[in-house]
Amino acid sequence: MTADRSERVPAQVHEHAHAQVHEQVAEALAELALAGSAVSAPQLVEQYRHLLRTTPRGLLREGGPRHLTASAIVVDADGDHVALLWHRKGRFWVQPGGHLEEGETSLERAARREVAEEIGLEELERIGPGPAVLHQHALDAAFGACAEHWDVQYLFRAAAPASQLPLTASEESPEVRWVPWPRTGEGTARDASALPEGTVADLAATLEALAPYLARWSGSSPASS
């Protein structure tokens, strides 16, 4: 009888550990399920969810060389400006974002925390039902053990025009600015020529893809703050 009991213990421990792992990633998996309207390729949603199901620690920097991050494209109230920061380590202009911290289980809350820490904005409206962009990119040696970031990007809107909403720099982002993102006559396409020199290479394409997304969901999206 003792032998039978001892044989059951490892199984019980395994089941408990599995339940804990599932709980850690359940919220993120649910958030990724809302990325069906994202401007990214549809198959990326399942790729991201598969990574989390097979590598639950992939929510964190310590989860391996390939892991998830969270960031935000932040526009002002009129949608005519985008908030960018100078990334000290990468030496480029980019949207606020970064790694989830130990204990964080929500990609959206992590993105909001990064925005508050890096550019000083809070109480932002989410545009769209969930993540707006899923973006995979390789990293160079400057990022150490991080070889590949699978970024989950939200589109947030501030409550005031850029002229009334100063941004706050931080140690990691010593320079921050609102960059013009003017509408064209059609009100959908955007002009990325105003992006500062040194902007991360693929941001212009991301903004172009987000223009119709912003037009589609503005005023009608389920939003949170």
Report d(CA 192, CA 207) in Å as an integer.
7
All structural domains of the chain, each given as residue ranges with its CATH number in brackets, are 2-217 (3.90.79.10)
Q: For the purposes of burial, counting CB atoms within 10 Å of the CB of 193, is it exposed (0-12), middle (13-18) or buried (19 or more)?
A: exposed
How big is the chain, counted in residues?
225
Per-residue confidence band for 9, with pLDDT thresholds at 50, 70 and 90: very low
pLDDT higher than 90, residue 112: yes
27 contacts 33 by C-beta, under 8 angstroms = no
Structural tokens at position 101:
């911290």
Per-residue pLDDT averaged across 190-210, rounded? Answer: 87
At 193 the pLDDT is 72
Per-residue pLDDT averaged across 39-44, rounded? Answer: 90
* Residue of 98 and 172 predicted with greater confidence: 98
Contacts for 128 with CB less than 8 Å, ≥ 6 apart: 37, 38, 155, 213, 217, 221
At 136 the pLDDT is 86
At 70 the pLDDT is 96
Report d(CA 132, CA 138) in Å as an integer.
20
| Chain centroid offset of residue 205 CA | 16
Q: Is this prediction's pTM over 0.85? A: no
Taking Cα atoms as reference points, which of 89, 105, 76, 70 lies closest to residue 170? 89
pLDDT higher than 80, residue 15: no
Per-residue pLDDT averaged across 205-221, rounded? Answer: 84
Structural tokens at position 167:
């941004």
Per-residue pLDDT averaged across 62-89, rounded? Answer: 89
177 contacts 44 by C-beta, under 8 angstroms = no
Report the run of H or E that residue 210 belongs to, with start and end.
helix 203-217
Most confident of 39-53, 157-171, 202-216: 157-171
Residue recorded with tokens 């911290």: 101
Alpha carbon of 26 to those of 34, 44, 48, 49: distances in Å?
A: 13, 18, 13, 10
At 13 the pLDDT is 40
At 1 the pLDDT is 44
